[in-house]
Amino acid sequence: MASEQGQTTQRASQMIDTTAIKQRLRQQPGLHLTLIGSLVVLALPVIMTVLMSTQPSTQISSSTLAGIGSEGLSNYQEVLFEANFATYLVNSLIMALAIAVGKVGIALLAALALVYYDLPFKRLILLFILFTLALPVPVRIVPMYEIMVSLDWENSMLGLVVPYFASATSVLLLRQHFRSISDSMVESAKLDGVGPLKFLVYVLIPMSRSMIAGLFTIAFIWGWNQYLWPLIIINDQSKQVLQVGLAQLNPTAGEALWGLIMAGAVITLLIPMVLMLALREPLLDTVSMQTK
Amino acid sequence: MTSNTDAIPITLDGIGKQYGDVTAVTDLDMAIQPGEFLVIVGPSGCGKSTTLRMIAGLEGITTGELRFDGAVMNDVEPKDRNVAMVFQNYALYPHMSVARNMSFGMKSAGDYTQEEIDQRVEDAAETLGISAYLDRKPNQLSGGERQRVAIGRALVRDPDVLLLDEPLSNLDAKLRVEMRSELAALHDKVQTTSVYVTHDQTEAMTLGDRVAVLNEGELQQIDPPQELYDRPTNKFVGEFIGSPQMDFFPVEVRTATAQPLVTGETGEATSFEIALSGAQTQQIESGRYTLGVRPEDLYPIEAFDHRPEEPITLDVDMTEPLGDVKLVYGMLAGQEVIVQVDPHYDVEKGERMELVADPDKLHLFDRQTGDCIYHSYDVTKEQVEQGSQS
């Protein structure tokens, strides 16, 4: 019943919102025109990509772009089934999900330890974790590859995702969030005999829901967009991911088949877009917290 | 919730707390009786919260021994002490309903059946008048209701010791007064040994069976509220308890006469003189002291039948009519003096008042140590206790 009530109030507030937006539009037309203008500029490449993905490849390079083309279906069919994108899609999905879950999971445990446990040299540990930010993937790609080879994880999903499980940014953000939760919560739990893991599951995670959703989205998209590491660690076409497959659509010799490439790009865009639309509210919360 | 027949005593034996080089609490001795409501009061940073947290087990004890019903608790985990705590900010879990908030600790402890938990939550909710809110989330409740839930959460587990850390500080003034009397009634009902920390001396006076005054980590006095008010053991307690606070005058005492004579050191040629009376006067030696008089024990000379040797003269700087009384402010010998007079007493800023102190309500403090060496109030402690009981 409470949720029903919540939905009605939400609907009501949305209705109020539209009138409020109209009012604001009238009050600050300049600001809103600028915003709409920049929105068009930002969306244009995406719209172009969608349009181009429906054109026959030859037409794109020869003529100006005009509306939806005739080869929409065939372009997508070819990319999905002949260029192996269906497989890449599944692989990318598994990879991005694993990276996001791993990142958030480890960050939760690390932040729990950093905030609620009496560790010696806590600040030093945090500093050390933050220091890893100074070593992005390209810098450590060779030693990372060597480790994967020695673990025999080369050309496997494990080798693809495990190196990305630790995330200094997620740890830091969750730590800051946990620190904003009143100490008396954990003290009350201590007096009640609630153990640390129970506290994490029943108190911290529910209280950090939007933060976790935001971090998950960021980690997912970040994982989804990996290119260099999959290119190096995966040799097998059946284990490859979308971003690498997309690059492979561009032939090394001869004319680029732009219709196909654009169809591949649209497929690559699809899942992150759905995720962002679904989780836009917690994502915005997290981003605004980051900039605070 | 039935009254707790097996309330336990708590003993603090030379308890001390050290944070590195900083001493938070020094050598604290307290014997809290079974079922007693003890209030610890003091200015911020006096170590009162630290003391409470040491009893709860949230802070380690550096020196001394803490005993619950004779058993040493120093190294016992908080969850095994069977204490419950009510926090200033309520510490309710925002994502849980009121009922779940109250039962969460019990469920985690795992010592209770679901039926038992439901029954206890229901009982506690009824006692506190929050039965209607059990399905709500904390953010749908007012501050007073939230604090009731927090108290309910503490009570459901039937703790041996109930600890309250400034539980009313986040409430507005009107609600605070209401909750204060509710808390007192609740304690009468459950009779759990309770320790209540506050910086508010009114709360301390109204709630406590006894009140412990702490300053800079040291216990100043632990006594029933009226005793604290009538016979502060030192200048700090005299100043801290009572509002508006006690007035102090630098004085010189001469014991050559039959009755010791107090002369004010006001820097003026003619200063006030008061003769001391009572049994305790034999203990006073000649010398310089601080005289303490409460604002309500100072009267305009024409409104009091006792004639002092020389009245206190005060130049009025400010008056504050409060409706029920009027406060008159002035400076004497570099110290602010507050006088509480009848609200209709006619006095204006810039006028000079002649004052007389109630000779039965005088306190003399040692200038160096601040210790009280004399109360003219002659009623013994035993008589006070008898009076409060009848």
Work out whether the CA dihedral B119, B120, B126, B129 comes out positive or negative.
negative
For residues A153 and A234, the answer to whether their CB atoms sit within 8 Å is: no
Choice among A209-218, A280-289, B357-366 with the minimum mean pLDDT: A280-289
pLDDT tens readout for residues A257-275: 888 888 899 999 999 999 9
Beta bridge partners, B162, equal B84, B194
B254-259: long-range pairs with CB below 8 Å, 24+: B254/B286, B255/B281, B255/B284, B255/B285, B255/B286, B256/B286
Nearest CA in chain A to B157: A192
Tell me the C-alpha distance between A239 and A230, whole Å. 9
For residue A194, the model assigns a pLDDT of 87
Q: Which two tokens stand for residue A271?
A: 């899942």
Given a cut of 70, whether residue A89 has pLDDT beyond it is yes
Given a cut of 80, whether residue A15 has pLDDT beyond it is no
Q: What ranges make up the beta strands (E) of chain A?
A: none
Span A95-105, average pLDDT: 96
Record: contact B58-A191, CB cut-off 8 A: yes
Tell me the C-alpha distance between B255 and B342, whole Å. 34
For residue A42, the model assigns a pLDDT of 94
Nearest CA in chain A to B111: A193
Record: contact B135-A188, CB cut-off 8 A: no
Nearest CA in chain B to A197: B108
The chain-wide mean pLDDT, for chain A, equals 85
Nearest to A190 among B78, B93, B109 (CB): B78
Sort strands B218-223 and B161-165 into parallel, antiparallel or unpaired: unpaired
For residues A46 and A269, the answer to whether their CB atoms sit within 8 Å is: yes
Given a cut of 80, whether residue B286 has pLDDT beyond it is yes
Q: Does A182 touch chain B (CB under 8 A)?
A: yes
Nearest CA in chain A to B103: A192
Choice among A239-248, A280-289, B55-64 with the minimum mean pLDDT: A280-289
The chain-wide mean pLDDT, for chain B, equals 88
For residues B211 and B242, the answer to whether their CB atoms sit within 8 Å is: no
Banded pLDDT at B302 (limits 50, 70, 90):
confident
For residue A2, the model assigns a pLDDT of 43
Of B269, B264, B268, B236, the closest CA to residue B250 belongs to B264
Tell me the C-alpha distance between B209 and B31, whole Å. 13
**Phi, psi for residue B141 in degrees, rounded to 5:** -115, 155
Tell me the C-alpha distance between B160 and B150, whole Å. 17
Nearest to B108 among A182, A193, A207 (CB): A193
Given a cut of 80, whether residue B97 has pLDDT beyond it is yes
Nearest CA in chain B to A205: B95
B10-236 CATH, one of 3.40.50.300, 3.40.50.1820, 1.10.287.130, 2.30.30.140: 3.40.50.300
How far away is chain B from the Cα of A184, in angstroms, using its nearest Cα?
6
CA angle A229, A230, A231 (to 5 degrees): 90
pLDDT tens readout for residues A146-182: 999 999 998 999 999 999 998 899 999 999 999 999 8
Chosen from B95, B112, B165, B166 to mutate, greatest number of chain A CBs within 10 A:
B95
Span A17-34, average pLDDT: 79
Q: Does A202 touch chain B (CB under 8 A)?
A: yes
Nearest CA in chain A to B102: A192
Could you name the CATH architecture of B244-389?
Beta Barrel (2.40)
Of B177, B169, B158, B63, the closest CA to residue B109 belongs to B158
Contacting residues of A for B153, CB less than 8 Å apart: 188
How far away is chain B from the Cα of A199, in angstroms, using its nearest Cα?
10
Contacting residues of B for A207, CB less than 8 Å apart: 93-95
How far away is chain A from the Cα of B157, in angstroms, using its nearest Cα?
9
Given a cut of 80, whether residue A60 has pLDDT beyond it is no
For residue B105, the model assigns a pLDDT of 84
Of B311, B307, B313, B290, the closest CA to residue B362 belongs to B290
**Residue B206: exposed, middle, or buried by beta-carbon count in 10 A (0-12, 13-18, 19+)?**
middle
Chosen from B73, B92, B108 to mutate, greatest number of chain A CBs within 10 A:
B108
- Cα–chain-centroid distance for residue A38? 23
Contacting residues of A for B94, CB less than 8 Å apart: 207
Share of chain B above pLDDT 90, in %: 61
DSSP characters over B193-227: EEEEEES-HHHHHHH-SEEEEEETTEEEEEE-HHH
How far away is chain B from the Cα of A206, in angstroms, using its nearest Cα?
7
Sort strands B161-165 and B352-357 into parallel, antiparallel or unpaired: unpaired
Which residue in this structure is represented by tokens 């495990």?
A162
Contacting residues of B for A182, CB less than 8 Å apart: 89, 91
For residues A131 and A191, the answer to whether their CB atoms sit within 8 Å is: no
Tell me the count of A-B CB pairs closer than 8 A.
61
The SS3 assignment for B18 reads: strand
Record: contact B104-A184, CB cut-off 8 A: no
Contacting residues of A for B58, CB less than 8 Å apart: 187, 190-191
**Phi, psi for residue B273 in degrees, rounded to 5:** -135, 135
Choice among A158-167, B102-111, B182-191 with the minimum mean pLDDT: B102-111
Contacting residues of B for A193, CB less than 8 Å apart: 79-80, 105, 108-109
For residues B271 and B351, the answer to whether their CB atoms sit within 8 Å is: no
Tell me the C-alpha distance between A68 and A52, whole Å. 8
Nearest to A190 among B58, B94, B109 (CB): B58
For residues B99 and B135, the answer to whether their CB atoms sit within 8 Å is: yes
Nearest to B89 among A184, A198, A209 (CB): A184
Given a cut of 90, whether residue B329 has pLDDT beyond it is yes
Record: contact A193-B83, CB cut-off 8 A: no
Q: Does A187 touch chain B (CB under 8 A)?
A: yes
Nearest CA in chain B to A206: B95
How far away is chain B from the Cα of A124, in angstroms, using its nearest Cα?
20
- Cα–chain-centroid distance for residue B354? 33
Share of chain B above pLDDT 70, in %: 94
Instruction: State the span(s) of chain A assigned CATH 1.10.3720.10.
Output: 85-291
The SS3 assignment for A173 reads: helix
Task: Specify whether the backbone of B82 is left (phi greater than 0), alpha (psi in -120 to 50) or beta.
Answer: left
How far away is chain A from the Cα of B136, in angstroms, using its nearest Cα?
9
For residue B243, the model assigns a pLDDT of 87
Q: Does A193 touch chain B (CB under 8 A)?
A: yes
Nearest to A191 among B83, B88, B94 (CB): B83
Span A5-13, average pLDDT: 47
Choice among A68-82, A109-123, A226-240 with the minimum mean pLDDT: A68-82
Span A82-96, average pLDDT: 92
Banded pLDDT at A63 (limits 50, 70, 90):
low
Span A45-54, average pLDDT: 87
HEC states along chain B? CCCCCCCCCEEEEEEEEEECCEEEEEEEEEEECCCCEEEEECCCCCCHHHHHHHHHCCCCCCEEEEEECCEECCCCCHHHCCEEEECCCCCCCCCCCHHHHHHHHHHHHCCCCHHHHHHHHHHHHHHHCCHHHCCCCHHHCCHHHHHHHHHHHHHHCCCCEEEEECCCCCCCHHHHHHHHHHHHHHHHHHCCEEEEEECCHHHHHHHCCEEEEEECCEEEEEECHHHHHHCCCEHHHHHHCCCCCCEEEEEEEECCCCCCEEEECCCCCCCCEEECCCHHHHHCCCEEEEEEECHHHEEEHHHCCCCCCECEEEEEEEEEECCCCEEEEEEECCEEEEEEECCCCCCCCCCEEEEEECCCCCEEEECCCCEEEEECCCCCHHHHHHHHHC
Given a cut of 60, whether residue B388 has pLDDT beyond it is no
How far, CA to CA in Å, does A176 sit from each of A117, A120, A129, A217, A280? 15, 19, 14, 18, 21
- Cα–chain-centroid distance for residue A21? 29
* Radius of gyration (C-alpha) of chain B in whole angstroms: 25
How far away is chain B from the Cα of A225, in angstroms, using its nearest Cα?
34
Could you name the CATH architecture of A85-291?
Orthogonal Bundle (1.10)
Tell me the C-alpha distance between A279 and A142, whole Å. 35
Q: Does A41 touch chain B (CB under 8 A)?
A: no
Instruction: State the span(s) of chain B assigned CATH 3.40.50.300.
Output: 10-236
Does B232 sit behind a cis peptide bond, omega within 30 degrees of 0 on the bond before it? no
Nearest to A192 among B58, B87, B104 (CB): B104
Span B358-379, average pLDDT: 86
Q: Does A192 touch chain B (CB under 8 A)?
A: yes
pLDDT tens readout for residues A217-243: 999 999 999 999 999 999 988 999 999
Residues 6+ apart with CB under 8 A from A39: none
Nearest CA in chain B to A196: B108
Contacting residues of A for B135, CB less than 8 Å apart: 2
pTM of the model: 0.80
Tell me the C-alpha distance between B213 and B217, whole Å. 10
Run of H or E including A235: none
Tell me the C-alpha distance between B34 and B192, whole Å. 8
Span B225-254, average pLDDT: 92
Span B81-108, average pLDDT: 91
Instruction: State the span(s) of chain B assigned CATH 2.40.50.140.
Output: 244-389
Q: Does A198 touch chain B (CB under 8 A)?
A: yes
Contacting residues of A for B56, CB less than 8 Å apart: 187, 191
